[in-house]
Amino acid sequence: MADETNALVADAAQAVTETADGVKAKFSKAIDDARAGALALGKDLQEKAAPYTEKLSSGELLAEAKAIGEQAKERALHLAADGKVKASDAITSLGKVVADNAGLVDDKLGEKYGDYARSAARALQETGAKLESKDLEELGKEATEFVKKNPVIAAGALIAVGFALTKLLGGKSDEEA
């Protein structure tokens, strides 16, 4: 019985690992898309600014710079909105996968664990829906409030994100240097 339960737990763990890998791939794709968009935006701005670098400041130049800045702002907001949608979809998809496998968990581990899976699935789907329903400004305000209330957690999260981005963007570790 213990071997059968261990096998069932291992099967469930494998399913969760595969699902997590799929979600991780979606998040990586969203980050790659955002990075590519930001790089393209930077190159585009450099190309547009190049003819003006030798000109003196003037009202016309200032107006053009403001227009380019507005275009950059709009494009950045569009990229951020796309990232929000992709993140929301990934969370919702993970919730659906967990919900779809709750019956299997019922059969293999018992109804109690299946209920846990359904509860986790609902929480994931609700989180995805909440993220989708909020606009970027509201998300920014909530993030600011969180940082004010929990500066240590926020600093730790920023360190973790920085570390992950460094690894993702090809930073070298001390061992490779």
Same-domain pairing of 77 and 18: yes
Query: What band does 109 get if pLDDT is binned at 50, 70 and 90?
Result: confident
Same-domain pairing of 112 and 140: no
Picking from 46, 44, 32, the residue whose alpha carbon sits closest to that of residue 79 is 32
The total domain count for the chain is 2
- Name the least confident of 11-15, 43-47, 72-76, 135-139: 11-15
**pLDDT the model gives residue 46:** 78
Same-domain pairing of 159 and 116: no
Same-domain pairing of 140 and 95: no
DSSP at 173: P
Tokens of 86: 């992709």
Encode pLDDT of 61-95 as tens digits: 677 888 898 998 888 888 888 888 888 888 888 88
Domain that holds residue 151: 135-177
Picking from 110, 97, 98, 111, the residue whose alpha carbon sits closest to that of residue 5 is 110
Same-domain pairing of 144 and 103: no
Tokens of 152: 């240590």
Encode pLDDT of 138-172 as tens digits: 888 888 888 899 888 888 888 887 887 787 777 55
DSSP at 52: G
Q: Which amino acid, 70?
A: E
Region label for 170, one of left (φ > 0), alpha (ψ between -120 and 50) or beta (otherwise)? left
Nearest-angstrom CA–CA distance, 84 and 76: 12
> Would you say residue 113 has pLDDT above 70?
yes
